[in-house]
Structure formats: structure tokens, C-alpha cells
Structure 1
């Protein structure tokens, strides 16, 4: 893989992680969208940089800025591991029977 392709992948990952970090700080979608527009403009401003060394400096600067703005309690999707609803209901104990038809079954009797 070429250095330019590697830098492109790192840039896309940095952009995605930045958007996820913003979501942790701005739960209100309108505020989130305005922050996303600001970040997108900054990425587009640097999209025409062709010098490999300058790209690397921009990537390192962006990664440092992302680390600086990491949320101490990041948002986690509720049903993902660590989320607020993950494994919320414990499994049913052995020996207990769950009847889902609530007495409306027809056994042909």
C-alpha cells in the first residue's frame, strides 16, 4: 500500500472518529450538525494538499486535537457492549417456563 493511500485511510478514520467524538459532546442534533459542518469545512480546506510530509503533519495535528477533545464519558449506542441498555434483562432461569400465548392456544381438544 502506498503512503498516499495509507494517509487517505487515516484521514477517513480521523474524520469518522471526530464525528463520533462530537456526538458525545453535542447530543442535540442541530448543534451536532453545525459542528459537523465546521469540521467538514476544515477537512475540505486541506483536501487539496498534495505534499506527503504536509499531509502527515496535518494528520498528526488532527489526531492530537482529537485526543484533546475526547469526552470523559463517551456516548455509546444503547444496545452495544457498554451501552445503557446492553444486557439489561438477565436471561430467564432454568426451570422457568415462558408462555407467550397467554392462554389463547388451541391444542385441538
Structure 2
């Protein structure tokens, strides 16, 4: 990747979030569940494995979030999730990489009303998955870079 492309892509990258310990653990748990869902097709087996995963998280929830052991456990869990990544994970159809992503995007109002948008028309900003923007989401922060090949957005 040349320097010009890196600079162009940098304009669309979102600012990295600063997460609290509980947010980081919650996201790690959700990523673990998503990983299980990608590997396991049977719902009963998934539920059994999800209980095992929850037990692994619960056995360490009494630890101090600032301790070295917790930092080690978080790093170890992230490494384990990366090592167990599914080669073709399940992706919600409306997200980047999904079968319906940007299938029917809304037409910009500027094209519908070339002489100006009438006052009664509600302009509601949309996320990349066509859901309404709520404060704190990526689209509220500005542009989003979609990597369709990598099935991700940043």
C-alpha cells in the first residue's frame, strides 16, 4: 500500500474508543459467543458451549480489574479468540460482508429534490447498515471506512 492510499484511508478511520474494563470484558464475551455461533450449527450444542464460556468468565469476575492477572487473562482470551477464528464467520446480512449489505441504500435527498429539500422532509442520518444514528455510534463521529474484502468497518 503506497503512502497516498494510506493517507486517503486515514481520513475515514474512526478514532479508537477508550474502553472501561467492564466494556472490554463484555465485548470479549460477545466476541466469544459470536465465534461459538460461527463454529456450531446446532442450537442445543451452542447453548451448552455458551454456558461453559460463561462459567469461564464468572470464575474470574471477583478479581481486581487493575491487577496483573486480569490483564494477562484479557490478553490470553484475545489471543485464544484470534487463534480460534472461523475462516468464514457468520455475518449479519446487513453488515459489511453480508448478503444484503448496501443492497437498497436510501437515495440522497439532494437527488430527490434538486431545487432544495422542502422544510417538512425529515433528514435522519443513517449508519452504514441503514439503521438510524444514535449518539456515540461510528456514523455520528464522521465517515466510516468499509473493508468489504475483510468484512469489517473502521
- TM-score, normalised by the number of residues in structure 2: 0.50
Count the aligned residue pairs.
85
C-alpha distance in 1, partners of 2:84/2:102?
A: 29
Shift of 1:78: 2.5
- Cα RMSD between the aligned structures? 2.0
Residue 44 of structure 1 is matched in structure 2 by 58
TM-aligned CA deviation for residue 8 of structure 1: 1.9
1:84 offset after TM fit, Å? Answer: 3.1
Residue 64 (structure 2) pairs with residue 21 (structure 1): no
Structure 1 residue 27, shift from structure 2 partner: 2.1
Which is greater in Rg?
1
Q: Which runs of 5+ in 2 are unaligned?
A: 1-18, 105-154
Question: For 1:23-78, what per-residue CA distance to the aligned partner results, in whole angstroms no more than 9, with x for missing partners?
Answer: 10012211111110000000001111125211101101111111111101000123
The match for 1:97 is: none
Unaligned runs of 5+ in 1: 90-109
TM-score, structure 1 normalization: 0.68
More helix per residue = 1
Contact 1:22–1:35 under 8 Å retained in 2: yes
For residue 73 of structure 1, give the secondary structure of its aligned residue in structure 2: coil
Alpha-carbon distance, 1:88 to partner:
6.2
Q: How do 1:1-109 residues align onto structure 2 when only pairs under 5 Å count?
A: 6-50=20-64, 52-86=67-101
